[in-house]
Amino acid sequence: MPSLEISDLKALAKRRVPKMFFDYADSGAWTEGTYRANEADYHKIKLRQRVLVDMTNRSLASTMIGQKVSMPVALSPTGLTGMQHADGEMLAAQAAEEFGVPFTLSTMSICSIEDVASVTTKPFWFQLYVMKDRDFVRNLIERAKAAKCSALVLTLDLQILGQRHKDLRNGLSAPPKFTPKHIWQMATRPGWCLKMMKTQRRGFGNIVGHAKNVSDLSSLSAWTAEQFDPKLSWDDVAWIKQLWGGPLILKGILDPEDARMAAKTGADAIIVSNHGGRQLDGAASSISMLPRIVDAVGGDIEIHIDGGIRSGQDILKAVALGARGTYIGRPFLYGLGASGKTGVRLALDILRKELDITMALCGKRDILDVDRDILDSDAGQLPR
Ligand SMILES: Cc1cc2nc3c(=O)[nH]c(=O)nc-3n(C[C@H](O)[C@H](O)[C@H](O)COP(=O)(O)O)c2cc1C
């Protein structure tokens, strides 16, 4: 059966990836209400069907923070990606490069900054979590510079980890523990095991051997609680901006007031995001907040969005509501878990095809011409 939509890749990944890692991707905080709303709210937005307009020579090409993209989609930073598939970050970065969209490497990746740099030829983006150990933060920034990363994505909404029940119940860790439950979960996924046995990359590549006082990295929640800095402030953002000195994207803005503060920092873009529903359960979906944030700071800073994008239609709706760029987390992780690099390419292909055809059926030929005019303002539209 060919994979025609992102949900096909999700079903395949569920069969191929050990339960604890599949669940790590497919989970939100507490009741998972915000996780579900991120996806569901896209369906409330209706498109205008237009006819008898020239639909030839269509273009999805755009820019995000001035960098060329073949469509306005980047790969989100995701932790433990090398546990969805052996060497996952390296494979996903290659797929993104071939496709002409940005790949963002997480601080909490399995493959290191240097690993990804060694298998790519174009710059990728690096996502930074700020730890209490500022020397280590400085070290990460220097390594990202040395690897010629072309943007720093600073995540602001995870200084304290939201509780995800599935991870606690599954006893998630990297490398995985060897209890009977975990051995069973892996033994029933032999393809995953074989590939994992052929790689040495099974721990947190950016951290192990680089950070001081790493006492318990086997438990993600324990390490996050110990090391992430809950005092992170706007002053720290200024410090990081100055230290990095390159294009800076602030990730995890969901409130117009925070967006105004973010715009004042002189950063290049913000990502309207609730961390894919993995942090503050009960927060609004990111797409429902986008119009208010565009109204607040649309003229002052470039606006990107993530959370709940599962189709090309969703991408088009986000662009129509004012997002210059979008990001996908789970869609590429499902592709990766399903079939490695080919699966990530397939996820991107699916989204591109859906985006292209949807744009045409809305009567547009160029993604740069898409605005709120393509949305049906009477049919269940989200508030402006
Ligand atoms: C498995 C997983 C791990 C994640 N790890 C990180 C991370 O390390 N850093 C970060 O800034 N965001 C992380 N995120 C959040 C994503 O960057 C992004 O905000 C979110 O996945 C977007 O929602 P979507 O998955 O519905 O596309 C993670 C998300 C998932 C699903």
Instruction: Give yes or no for a contact between 272 and 293, defined as CB atoms under 8 angstroms apart.
Output: yes
pLDDT in tens, 242-293: 999 999 999 999 999 999 999 999 999 999 999 999 999 999 999 999 999 9
Tally Cβ neighbours within 10 Å of residue 9.
Answer: 26
Helices (H), 113-179: 113-119, 134-146, 165-170
Side chain identity at residue 131, one-letter code: M
Please say if the pLDDT value at position 70 is more than 60. yes
Mean pLDDT score, 195-223: 81
pLDDT (0 to 100) of residue 368? 98
**Confidence category of residue 223, pLDDT binned at 50, 70, 90:** confident
> Who's near 169: CB < 8 A, 6+ residues apart?
none
Percent of the chain with pLDDT over 70: 96
Residue 34 labelled as part of a binding site = no
**Residue where the block lists tokens 């109204």:** 295
> For ligand 1, what atom is nearest to the CA of residue 127?
11
Taking alpha carbons only, the member of 255, 263, 192, 200 closest to residue 234 is 263
275 is catalytic: yes
> pLDDT at residue 380 above 90?
no
According to the model, what pLDDT value does residue 219 have?
Answer: 65
Average pLDDT over residues 54-73: 97
The gap from C-alpha 190 to its chain's centroid, in whole angstroms, comes to 28
Bridge partners, residue 64, by sequence: 67
User: Distances in Å between the alpha carbon of 87 and those of 26, 83, 325, 354?
Assistant: 20, 8, 27, 28
Give pLDDT tens digits for 85-103.
999 999 999 999 999 999 9
Residue 177 Cα to ligand 1 midpoint, Å, equals 23
Count how many Cα atoms sit within 13 Å of the Cα of residue 336 in the half-sphere of its side chain: 28
User: What's the pLDDT score for residue 208?
Assistant: 84
What pLDDT was estimated at residue 254? 98
Cα(277) to ligand 1 centroid in Å equals 9
Residue 377: its pLDDT value, please? 83
pLDDT of residue 10: 98
pTM: predicted TM-score of the whole model, two decimal places: 0.97
pLDDT band, very low/low/confident/very high, at 345 (cuts 50, 70, 90):
very high
Residue 273 contacts residue 253 (beta carbons within 8 Å): yes
d(CA 354, CA 312) in angstroms, rounded, equals 4
Q: Which residue in 331, 226, 327, 352 sits closest to 274, CA to CA? A: 327
Name the strand (E) or helix (H) holding 78: none
Query: What is the mean pLDDT of the segment spanning 218-239?
Result: 86
pLDDT of residue 212: 75
Residue 121 has pLDDT above 60, yes or no: yes
The answer to whether the annotation marks 310 as part of a ligand binding site is yes
CATH number of 6-374: 3.20.20.70
Q: Is 36 annotated as a binding residue?
A: no
Ligand 1 interacting residues, C-beta cut-off 6 A: 24-25, 38, 76-79, 106, 108, 127, 155, 251, 273, 275-276, 278, 306-309, 328-330, 333
Encode pLDDT of 354-375 as tens digits.
999 999 999 999 999 999 999 9
Nearest CA owner, ligand 1 atom 13 = 78
Strand partners of residue 304: 271, 325
